[in-house]
Structure 1
Amino acid sequence: MNKILSFIWIFLVISIADLKAQQIDQDYVQKIKEFTTDDKFLPASLLDIVDHPTVPSPLKHFGHIIGTEGIVHRTSEIYGYYQKLAETSPLVHMQEMGLTEEGRKFYLIVIGNQESMDRLEHYKGQLAKLADARKTSPEQAEAIILDSKPVYYVSAGMHATEMGAPEMLMELAYRLATSEAGDIKAIRENVITVINPVSEPDGWDKQVDWYFRHTKGREKFDDGFPRSAPYWGKYVFHDNNRDGLQVSQEITKSIFKGFFEFHPTVMLDLHESVPLLYISTGTGPYNDFVDPITQSEWQVMANHDVAEVSAQGMPGAFTWAFYDGWWPGYGIWVANNHNSNGRFYETYGNAGADTYLRDYSTSRFAGDLASSKEWYRPYPASPLVYWSFRNNINYTQVGVIASLYYAATNSQLLLRNFYKKGFNSLEKGKNEGPKAFIIAKEQRDPAMVAYLANQLRVQGIEVHENEEAFVILSEQPYRNLAVSLLTPQAYPKEAKYPPYDAIAWTLPYLYGVEVEAKEDIDFDVSALRLMVSDAVYKGKLAGEGNTYVLPYHAQNTVLPALYWIKGQNRNAEISVLTGSTVVSGDTLPAGSIVFRRINANQASQMAQDFGLDFRAISTSIPADQQKAVNLPRVAIYHTWYNTQDEGWSRYTFDQRGIPYTSIDKDFLKAGALKSKFDVIILPRVRGNAKNFVNGVDKKFGPMPYTKTAEFPSHGFPASTSDMTGGPGFGGIENLRKFVEEGGLLISFDNTSAILAELGIASELSPVNTSGLFHPGSIVRAKVRKTDHPVLYGYPETFPIFRGNGPLLQTDKYNRDLMLVQYGHQPLKDEVPFEGQILGLPEDMKTEKAEKSEEKTPPYVVAGMVRNEQEIVGHGSVFNLPVGRGSVLAFTFDPLHRYLNHHDAPMVWNALINWDRLK
């Protein structure tokens, strides 16, 4: 009650104050000028910041303005300021949206005029009606639009080194709450602005500590010193903006929650990279399943914003020449995937609050110099700029205000487009194929079938079911997204510019689940029930006996089940069948797991908890047909210069419930690795052997990453007193000894090339290709050693996900080291010679091989590969004996971004059978 009265009093005070001319905060204005390095970077529209009598500006709250040299704020300070705005202005609302992996809070800030705030739930309800054309006819939509306001969602701080926007948004929020300037007033009255102030709070606090601890005050920007903390989130670094299909990280879950609560008409994500201000449209090709209305909105809004920035005399704003518009897995693409509009900015940033002379004279985008005058860059900046933190804030803020003003003056158009896109998707579901997708529940890995159904539901796609299958009916508002996720992508080979990211994401192939596309509805739709909660596959236990058998089909949950049962019952005996075996009249495939000395309750619980089907048997299995499973002690290695992909590996292991130890250079240098671990995994890292051996340049040391009272966010998820240096050649030698003494070393993607460079995987050599271009696509692989334990549960051919990783090969006499190859055709040097071999008798002439009538399936399943003949036949997975141990080298990443779950069981197979891969 007291808060309501205080709001009434504040509102009266504001109303009285607004009758008079608003006072400009001259101190604030003077500081803006002081920290802006050039008048061309100083927009006049930002020099009218209000000196409000009751709502504190950043200057009054912090004692300094936003953009002050050498000052950035931790999340507690940022949230504290928004809390103060919410306490002093009835036009600002602050709400929690969940917790990060480390327990920090996510918040959204909602700003509008008094009428908007009073009717906020009403307006959210109106947008929800417009989002579903099944419930709202075109005539009803027109009436709703007249009683609606667009929600414009602005987010910042997803990438922690991009430090301008989270600071800028505090100043923008103050302007939106207090200013009576014409454009701000129009925004406040006609738009509901939703601000995500710090998208990744964990990473932001780590980076702020990093700035104050290590980079503040450095004389040069390009001096080789790491500008970023080694970690942002607990698991995911820059790829936190590549999680929009998996929705695995808490940051993504928060973004999705905000979208489905508010149904924003536009979402704008603020980033920093290219000079001076890029406003997204992209070079194309655009995603096939984004409505043409959205694609047109990108153009109109981008050109509007560029024009507004240029109109203020500010050079360097541009569009088009950066990014493409194809990959649908960015965080902000929750909007584009759901009939809204997702956009982003890239402002030039210094990874902190210092001022530097920046030289981008050689930078090119879409082939053109970044400082050249082009149709998409009407007013370029000079190729060298003296660039400050405040310059960054000026550019981003002017652009955002321009975009918000566009929404304010085109609100009905944006709302009508929002409805029309959902209507179009629904009509396509009615009139175009496929009309439905059927996912049979009984498949080789039923738990992954349930997982696919749940992932579709996370995306807002409606899933129905009956006893036999999950069913996705196309006649629904997010039909386009469903088709995009469930059918192969065909990236155009003739695209002029390289793609910005991966180009294939067909979930059935990535998950190893069969999905049937139905062109007609030939089943009883009324018999289906809509899923309202997640599917859970609970495995079954059948048969009688005290031995339990798991038929193996490379299910993803088998290895965690083994660790679980050993944790429950230390006396449990586990073995694996080394070949196809007939048991009680049934044929069990190689890799099937046999359990003894466990009871029926444990077997039943394991079946239910891990989604696995067991058989109890009373017959014995010959000892020579099975091998005891010795579950390994696993380590996952991380460098201190690149933690991106090891984070995804750790996340995958944690999600699967597979125990591991995270290790770094100091473990390698200490040696005695085999006494501590049985398996060491080397996830993909950037760079080459030199980077791997030497790590961060020691001239910058010591560089601690430890938790202290002054820097409390550091030391997690790993800690070191000095990040500089690498394992050195001594550590590499210890890694070699680990393998020679019987350990298994598993390498992903370019770490396989690094091991080849270092001589640990000496049989592997790089392959020089001519024009091979292999962006992230789903391609076919063929098994060469069908009886090898790494391939248990896999058919002879299967799809894998591969990007532009290394291509490696062995000499011809060593081809038995190759377990899997890319594509179906052999290498040229493996094609049998046809004809007379000189020196041999005529009757030993080689017979001409009979050509198979069966057509060879294409290499590319989804995506695109140029000059694929350069890779087909080369090795995909190698097993290399080294001493008493072995190296298992993948030339792709089988744990890529928690997406390619069908590839992962090759790793699980290696761990189950780690001591018999030679």
Structure 2
Amino acid sequence: MQSTLTRFFTSLLLLACLTVGTLQAQKVPSPKEHFGFAIGDDYQLATYTQTEAYFKKLAASDRVKLVDMGLTEEGRHQYMLVVSSPANLKNLEKYRSISQKMARAEGLTDEQARQLAAQGKAVVWIDGGLHATETVGTHQLIETAWQLVSRKDAETLRILDEVIILLAHANPDGQELVSNWYMREANPEKRSLDHLPRLYQKYIGHDNNRDFFMMNMKESWNIGRQLYVDWIPQIVYNHHQAGPAGSVVAGPPYRDPFNHVYDPLLITSIDALGAAMNNRLNVEGKPGYTQRAGSVYSTWWNGGLRTAPYFHNIIGILTEIIGSPTPAKVPLVPQRLIPNGATPNPIKPQDWHFRQSIDYSVSLNYAVLDYAARYRDGLLFNIYRMGKNAIDRGKQDHWTLYPKRIEEITQAQRNDSQKSTPTGTGSTTGTLATKYYDTVMTNRSLRDPRAYILPASQPDFPTAVAFINALLKSGVQVQQATASFNVAGKAYPAGSYVVKTAQAFRPHVLDMFEPQDHPNDFQYPGGPPVRPYDAAGWTLAYQMGVQFDRQLDDFDGPFRKVPYGELQVPKGQLGTATAAGGYLLSSQANQSFLAVNDLLKAGVEVLRLTEGTATEAVGSFFVAANDQAKAVLERLAREQGVAVRAVAQRPAALAKVTPQRVALWDTYGGSMPSGWVRWLTEQFHFPVEVLYAPDLEKEDLRSKYDLVVFVGGAIPPLATPESGSSSYSRRDPKPEEVPAEYRTWLGRITADKTIPQLQKFLEAGGNIVTIGSSTNLAYHLKLPVKNALVEISSDGQEKRLPGEKYYIPGSILRVSLDSTQQAAWGMPAACDVYFDASPVFNLAPDAIARGTLKPLMWFPTDKPLRSGWAWGQAYLQNGVAAFSAKVGKGTLYAFGPEITFRAQAHGTFKLLFNQFYATEVPTGVVQGE
């Protein structure tokens, strides 16, 4: 009996211990208990190492599921917390499936959609830390997660019941760098975020918020997979800072213009959510929210974490808030003290602490989550409705109301005004006005496409596949031909890709293929332009040089649907080469350069065709048949889809390829354009060494390097019309202000010290590539080159064209090329370039005649605009966009357009890659034999 009782009480004790243990396992520590300080305490920042550990502790809660989204570029784990009620977390797959079905809107009736909306849960994405120096973002994420996990108030419980919350860390590497940099100072009052030594996301820093339709970076694809493939939330909330001076936070709604491909329901949904956010702050006595014209943010541009969702019918929210761990002030900005529609509740000048920004951010998060909880079924149905609208538009004749179409209507009225109104007033009403509308907006040749076809036979098919992968990462439905087919009398081979517009993400499809038509936007008639928030035009198919056909009528064929998000690898084939022959790789294909670099690294000799043939472009690569070459090429054909053609005979007119010893300029604090080039060269296996200004001033530069690359921002301008403004200042820290390991990075390129060394480098046989503003080097070297974008003022002096006459923000323009020159081998006779207020030149005719200056790219027409906004584009006609110049034994290459822009401009990569090789005629071989 005693033994039985003992066992009974032992069992009870064990059960009690297990119960207590379970309860303790679910109790998570507060931030202060974990970090040693409360989130928002002055002079305190958490590192990512600490944050990662805290996220793992939060995962002990039954309200949390921890998801590893993937590794970052520096190899850290990037986490997302899925937060909801315990009951919802047990059914996550059900709710994720509903979210996907509603967003894709495939095969659903309205009644079925309403039933699913009633069954589903709203899905809301909230991120933090994308721009790591904007420290509010990461810390509000930590605080919000803690409050959602620990609070038991009615509002929080209702939110958890109705909403699946995705709390995502956007930039782990950046948080680790920035927080360690700030906290390195023992004295809290001396802590500062200033003078960070390198970019806070590897390679691209701030441009990590410019990568969300390309998703080159690992972090971008980790996020994109959740947004467009796995979860497809109805709301995406992207936290940033800082708000405009004199306010606390800028948020929705945003200023015009918005992109013409959106469903109107998207814009009104942004307005509604913005009102809920503004209202909450006002209820809680938190003034200083500004919107619309109160800030610079618009809804035009694609590529940001909150803007790319617009093209997927997702409500994208951006807030920009003030705040720093170092206390600051809300400054006096008198014009912001008058209540108006932009800032209905102004804030007075005052001291400001980090915790206040955290509290505002948590309130804004709760406003979004409360809205999602209250309108859960409406959000789900509305994303379906926008997707269904998109599918319907793609299935029938549809005309998008672009500004150019409205201008065509207006012009038709003008042309006919004398006939229609005898008084000559030009006014038209009733049926006459309808006639002009019908002339344009029912013109069948101006319809939106039903589909796009990317032929597998195009010269650079691997780049076309890279474009397709960008679409797949964005959740676009893609089809591939399993056999050859015909459309509109044209034959297409098997393997070709088809992208139809009858799909939910039609706005994104149109945006990637069609030109953007940015409206003419000026402060007042005849006044200066209103700068777009980012690019005005970016059409990815144009940037990548992809060949595609627009189809205005529907068609079908032997097509398979590629699973959503399943990235493609082109199928490379390697034929059998005879002993007398070898292998050819086309100079028109970017992947050929990757193959050449791997071959050279393996010790295989590579040659280039110095003359084109009937079947092969000039500059194509030849490799003699041998086992070593075959092994490398077989691997590349299998893994990279490199196109290789076996030939039975060695071509004539060959020159040996010698890799250049390449240096790439960078600067203390980091250059984003330089980081993009560094990433790009790594992808194509070019060995490149990074140099800083002090390295360029050394006498041994030529003995170490054959080629130096300067991206935009490296070479300072002259104070002349040729180069524009002389303002080029950014204070570098003093050596004693930074750790010793970074001091060799300090310094700037100067006219008195650096430029003479670069001239010596060129004269001794070195080559230099300059891009964008760094083409200023041509003026420093006093080459016979002038700025083409000037006019003669009343005093007879040259001055730059004012914005009222000429203004081209980031846009796509068409140029002609001289592809017979080695610098442009593999390029077509005309191509699209990314142009962002880029330099344009006039070259001295006698220098061209002598061959010391050679135009590489130029504008042959007065209307080169392909996508975006180009005011006064006629000024570009006959202007030179790129040239080469002999300087002693070396060559300077000057590319005005951004030929490597954000690693998106695949169509112009070859203009850089070609310069990474020297070609030498082998001994004993006569050119032309």
Query: What's the TM-score bracket when you normalise by the shorter of the two chains?
Result: 0.7 to 0.9
Amino acid at match of 1:909: N
| CA distance, structure 2, for counterparts of residue 423 and residue 408 of structure 1 | 23
Which deviates the most, 812-821 or 433-442? 812-821
Post-superposition offset of 1:440: 0.6
In 2, distance between residues paired with 1:314 and 1:263? 32
In structure 1, the partner of 2:182 is 211
Q: CA deviation at 1:749?
A: 0.5
Contact 1:130 1:141 in 2 (8 A): yes
Given that residues 157 and 166 in structure 1 are in contact (C-alpha distance below 8 angstroms), is that contact kept between their aligned partners in structure 2? yes
**What does residue 743 of structure 2 align with?**
721
Aligned to 2:34: 61
SS at match of 2:394: helix
Cα separation, 1, equivalents of 2:733 and 2:100: 57
Q: 1:455-854 maps to which residues of 2 (within 5 A)?
A: 455-466=470-481, 467=483, 468=493, 469-494=496-521, 497-524=530-557, 526=558, 528=560, 530=562, 534-541=568-575, 544-548=578-582, 550=584, 552-570=586-604, 572=605, 574-581=606-613, 586=614, 588-596=616-624, 598-599=626-627, 601-602=630-631, 604-605=633-634, 609=640, 611-618=642-649, 621=652, 625-685=653-713, 688-689=716-717, 697=731, 700-704=734-738, 720-721=742-743, 723-726=745-748, 729-753=752-776, 755-756=777-778, 758-759=780-781, 763=785, 765=787, 767=789, 768-771=800-803, 772-783=806-817, 785-815=818-848, 817-825=853-861
2:373 paired with 1:408: yes
C-alpha displacement of 1:191: 1.5
Q: Which letter does structure 1 place at the counterpart of 2:593?
A: L
1:145–1:412 Cα contact (<8 Å) kept: yes
1:152-551 alignment to 2 at 5 Å?
152-196=124-168, 198-213=169-184, 226-259=194-227, 260-275=229-244, 276-321=248-293, 322-350=296-324, 353-359=325-331, 361=333, 369-382=335-348, 384-432=349-397, 433-466=448-481, 467=483, 468=493, 469-494=496-521, 497-524=530-557, 526=558, 528=560, 530=562, 534-541=568-575, 544-548=578-582, 550=584
869, 894, 915: which is aligned to 1:910? 915
2:38 is aligned with what amino acid? I
Aligned-residue offset at 1:132: 2.8
SS at match of 2:215: coil
**Structure 1 vs Structure 2: percent identity of aligned residues?**
23
CA contact (8 A) 2:197 2:669 kept: no
| TM-score, scaled relative to structure 1 | 0.82
Instruction: Go from structure 1 to structure 2 and tell me whether the alpha carbon gap of 1:698 and 1:409 turns closer, same or farther (over 3 Å shift).
Output: closer
Residue 400 (structure 2) aligns with = none
**Secondary structure class of the residue paired with 1:319:** strand
Shift of 1:330: 0.9
| Residues 302-358 of structure 1, C-alpha deviations (whole Å, 9 max, x = no match) | 1221122122222210111321111111123443232222111110133xx111235
Cα distance in 2 for partners of 1:258, 1:294 equals 20
Alignment of 1:857-868 (within 5 A): 858-868=863-873
Shift of 1:291: 1.9
Residues 103 and 232, structure 2, Cα contact 8 Å, conserved in 1: yes
Q: Which amino acid aligns with 1:665?
A: A
Distance 2:550 2:17 in 1: 59
Give the CA deviation at 1:66: 1.1
1:776–1:815 Cα change, 3 Å: farther
Residues 215/326 of structure 1: CA separation in 2 closer, same or farther (3 Å cut) = farther
Aligned CA distance change for structure 1 residues 874 and 542 (closer, same or farther; 3 Å): farther
Q: Within 1, Cα distance between the matches of 2:451 and 2:289?
A: 45
Aligned pair in 2 of structure 1 residues 263, 699: CA closer, same or farther (>3 Å)?
Answer: closer
Counterpart CA distance in 1 for 2:187 and 2:812 is 44
Q: Secondary structure at the match of 1:804?
A: coil
1:891 to 891, 896, 902: 896
Shift of residue 402 of structure 1? Answer: 1.4
SS in 1 for 2:257: coil
Q: For residue 671 of structure 2, what is the amino acid of its counterpart?
A: T
Worse overlay, 791-800 or 647-656: 791-800
Q: Is the 8 A contact 1:210 1:229 kept in 2?
A: no
Structure 1 residue 533, shift from structure 2 partner: 5.2
Output one character per residue of 1:124-178: Cα deviation in whole Å (capped at 9) or x when no partner.
1221222232243221111111111101110000001100121122222222223
In 2 relative to 1, CA 91–884 (structure 1 residues): closer, same or farther, beyond 3 Å? same
Q: 2: distance between equivalents of 1:629 and 1:598?
A: 17
What is the CA distance between 1:100 and its match in structure 2?
A: 0.6
**How far off its partner does 1:646 sit?**
0.5
* 1:745 alignment partner AA: I
Q: State the Cα deviation string for residues 162-215 of structure 1 (Å, max 9, x = none).
A: 00121122222222223233432322222222211x310111111112212369
1:374 and 1:671 mapped to 2: Cα distance?
Answer: 61
Distance 1:724 1:547, change over 3 A: same
For the structure 1 residues 620 and 415, does the alpha-carbon distance in structure 2 shift closer, same or farther, using more than 3 Å as the test? Answer: closer
Partner residue of 2:441?
Answer: none
- Report deviation, 1:528: 4.5
CA distance in 2, matches of 1:636, 1:770: 33
8 A Cα contact 1:256 1:334, kept in partner: no
SS of 1:794 mapped into structure 2: coil
Indicate conservation of the 8 Å contact 1:96/1:106, yes or no.
Answer: yes
In 1, distance between residues paired with 2:90 and 2:819?
67
Code of the aligned partner of 1:128: Q
Shift in Å at residue 555 of structure 1? Answer: 1.8
Could you state the TM-score of these two structures normalised by the residue count of structure 2?
0.81
More displaced stretch, 597-606 vs 384-393: 597-606
The 2-side partners of 1:181 and 1:155 are apart by 23
1:288–1:815 distance in 2 versus 1, CA, 3 Å: farther
SS of the counterpart of 2:65? strand
Report Cα offsets for 1:681-719 as digits up to 9, x if no partner.
11122783599999864663234357xxxxxxxxxxxx6
Unaligned runs of 5+ in 2: 1-12, 398-447, 484-492, 524-529, 719-724, 790-799, 922-929
Task: Quote how far apart the aligned CAs of 1:387 are.
Answer: 2.2
Return the alpha-carbon distance in structure 2 between the equivalents of residues 807 and 5 of structure 1: 79
Q: Deviations along 1:516-562, whole A, 9 cap, x unmatched?
A: 111223443x5545465513141444764533363645321232222
Amino acid paired to 2:73: E
Contact residue 267 and residue 343 of structure 1 kept, 8 A = yes
Amino acid at match of 1:911: F
Distance in 1, matches of 2:520 and 2:17, equals 63
Q: For structure 1, list consecutive stretches of 5 or more residues without a partner in the other structure.
A: 15-52, 363-368, 707-718, 826-855
Summarize the Cα distance change of 1:766–1:7 in structure 2 as closer, same or farther, 3 Å threshold.
Answer: farther
Residues matched between the structures, number: 808
Q: What is the SS of the residue equivalent to 1:301? A: helix
Matches of 1:480 and 1:109 in 2, distance apart? Answer: 29
Looking at structure 1, the residues matched to 346 and 450 of structure 2 have their Cα atoms a distance apart, in angstroms, of 49
Q: 1:648 aligns to what SS in structure 2?
A: helix
2:760 aligns to what SS in structure 1? helix
Equivalent position amino acid for 2:553 in 1: D
